Copies of this chain bind each other. A is one copy, B any other.
Amino acid sequence: MAGSKAASRRADAQAAATTGEARKEEDRYVECRVVLDVLDRIGDKWTVMVVGALSEGPVRFNAMMRLIEGVSHRMLTLTLRGLERDGLVKRTAYPTIPPKVEYELTVLGHSLIEPLRSLSRWAMQNRAVIEQARQEFDAGSGREGP
């Protein structure tokens, strides 16, 4: 059957752009790409912590440094740059001495919190089940015969 291979999806969809089938294929393809794109950003450990830290208001650079505990100077900078680039975080520099820079979530940034909470809820609800599954798996792997 044509179109079963991901590599050919775009071509297939283009060749038969009017078909409902092809549109569905193409939609799934695009959706996957987009989700992956988002996950590349927010699936990152530090990004989650930064968003969490900013969720209740503006925070200064050094404050976050202390708040997040374990993040390196470099990674915090990079993470904030990434978020700023994507329009999720607003950076405000006050030209004082010493310099003072505040970071805060944009409207877009805040809107991300909701779906993130969705994941959070799932995680909290199922952490016990998962933990148990892990233990059973680790116990069962290696001795299933005599």
Which residues of A come within 8 Å of B, CB atoms?
4-7, 31-32, 34-40, 42-45, 48-49, 52, 66-70, 84-88, 108, 111-112, 114-116, 118-124, 126-127, 129-130, 132-134, 137-138
Q: Please report whether the interface of chain A is mostly helix, strand, loop or mixed according to DSSP.
A: helix
Give A46 Cβ to nearest chain B Cβ, in Å.
10
A36 contacts which chain B residues (CB < 8 A)?
A: 45, 48-49
**Chain B residue at smallest Cβ distance from A141:** B85
Offer 30 A-B interface pairs, CB within 8 angstroms, sorted by A.
A4-B66, A4-B67, A5-B66, A6-B67, A6-B69, A6-B70, A7-B69, A32-B48, A34-B123, A35-B48, A35-B119, A36-B45, A36-B48, A37-B123, A37-B127, A38-B119, A43-B44, A85-B133, A85-B137, A86-B130, A86-B133, A87-B130, A87-B133, A87-B134, A87-B137, A88-B130, A108-B126, A108-B129, A118-B118, A119-B119
